[in-house]
Amino acid sequence: MTAVAPRTQTASLSPILKQATPVVVDHAQGSWIHGTDGRDYLDFTTGIGVTSTGHCHPRVVAAAQAQCAKVIHAQYTTVMHTPLLELTERLGGVLPPGLDSVFYANSGSEAVEASIRLARMATGRPNIIVFQGGFHGRTVAAASLTSAGTRFSAGFSPLMGGVHMAPFPYAYRYGWDVETTVDFALAELDYLLTSHVAPNDTAAFLIEPVLGDGGYLPTPPRFLHGLRERADAHGILLIVDEVQAGFGRTGRFWGHQHADGLIPDILITAKGLASGFPISAIAAPTEVMSKAWPGSQGGTYGGNAVAAAAAIATLDVIDDEGLVENARVRGQQLIDGIRSATAPFDTVGDVRGLGLMVGVEFVTRDGERTVPDPAAALAVQQATTEHGLLTLTCGPAGNVVRLIPALVVTEDEIATGVDRFTAALESALGARALGG
Ligand code: PMP
């Protein structure tokens, strides 16, 4: 008999899975992460805008724990479960008028893909127009729609066909005022529709209300209205990707609501929806949703019962604690604080945002021209960790530091965050300050 040798192999995480910080979380509460290194970190990353009600909000924890003891997984194309029915009813109260039909999945990317399938089936048209700098996910179709950096789509072509790109009104980058940039971007869209992508072949415009991974750039309301007009004129659907900007983060419940009166045809939501549990959804008018081909919507894990219970608790907390208004007020405090902290630094070109979605763009200057400075952004982002504040970078060049506090963030916590950000700026860039 030959003895079987004991296995000694261990596994490790993929070497290309890079972490923005060296922190290993032991536990987390509200706006704070407690590391296994014994340090407390103020979390202005919220898992990339996910833990909307803060880490482990007691009501979200209680709802998830109670649901775990009742049923964890009730596959929704086999049996239905009550948390999903209740969540759907509750979402009806916050969804834009007319968007009364909901399909659930697990991640933002999956929901984006569901919206594209639906738009193509509902219109019978092949093309999708996206906007430069947009981020819509990492699965192959979602990556095909993404232009927030070549790292998201390089090396595994061919990508999905039928995707066309128009300029995004990125006023700071063009060096123009917002109105001029919006006129330019709308004119270029019209040119695309005349020169290359026929309106009758176009199923949808897909846009984020605030570019997220593409640089924390609010989409000017007049641009969104311009898309709506063109969509109406040509029977094109307007899809808003609210995965990062939705669920109260911008100081309105949905990011597109900053464009007064605008109603999209399809809305995509995920991230903040369940305070950390994986669940995503698309919403559309029943008339549009029912044009999806039978069998084209489903999935093993979509609309999980524990995630749905956590989403209901998230809606309760947002409502009862006035978190949309808190995001607006604390967001103003944050952007004001960051603007004055960064004012002495010539390498900070722009500070912008909506609500609790604030971006700081780092540049070097070459006469009138500005050039992205990813090294400065990275140095500041890493210094914030040393000073006990967690932040992330974004933007195609990685030259934007983004601040994404939880919607429950307090006045004191914002003040602490601004102090720590100021200390990080000074330690990372002090010698580069104007006159420094
Ligand atoms: N859309 C937007 C606007 C996003 O910010 C993201 C995630 N950063 C996605 C889609 C993809 O979501 P997920 O990572 O859950 O697939």
Q: pLDDT tens, 111-150?
A: 999 999 999 999 999 999 999 999 999 999 999 999 999 9
Calpha distance 140→123 (Å, rounded): 22
Asked whether the beta carbons of 29 and 56 are under 8 A apart, the reply is yes
* 1 — pLDDT class (breaks 50, 70, 90): low
Is residue 145 within 6 Å of ligand 1 at its C-beta? Answer: no
Could you tell which of 116, 135, 268 is best to mutate to test the pocket of ligand 1, judged by most ligand atoms within 8 Å of the CB? 135
For the chain, the structural domain boundaries read: 25-53+322-432, 59-320
- Using a CB cutoff of 8 Å and minimum separation of 24, what contacts does 197-200 make? 197/127, 197/129, 197/164, 199/230, 199/233, 199/234, 199/235, 199/236, 200/125, 200/234, 200/235
pTM over 0.95: yes
What pLDDT does 297 receive? 97
Q: What is the pLDDT of residues 148-161, one digit of tens each?
A: 999 999 999 999 99
Q: Write down the CATH number for the domain with range 59-320.
A: 3.40.640.10
Q: Which phi and psi angles does 331 have, rounded to 5°?
A: -65, -40
pLDDT of residue 435 exceeding 60, the answer is no
Q: Write down the CATH number for the domain with range 25-53+322-432.
A: 3.90.1150.10
pLDDT of residue 95 exceeding 90, the answer is yes
For ligand 1, the distance from its centroid to the CA atom of residue 435, given in whole angstroms, is 41
Q: Atom of ligand 1 at shortest distance to CA of 134?
A: 3
Q: Atom of ligand 1 at shortest distance to CA of 212?
A: 5
Q: What is the pLDDT of residues 206-225, one digit of tens each?
A: 999 999 999 999 999 999 99
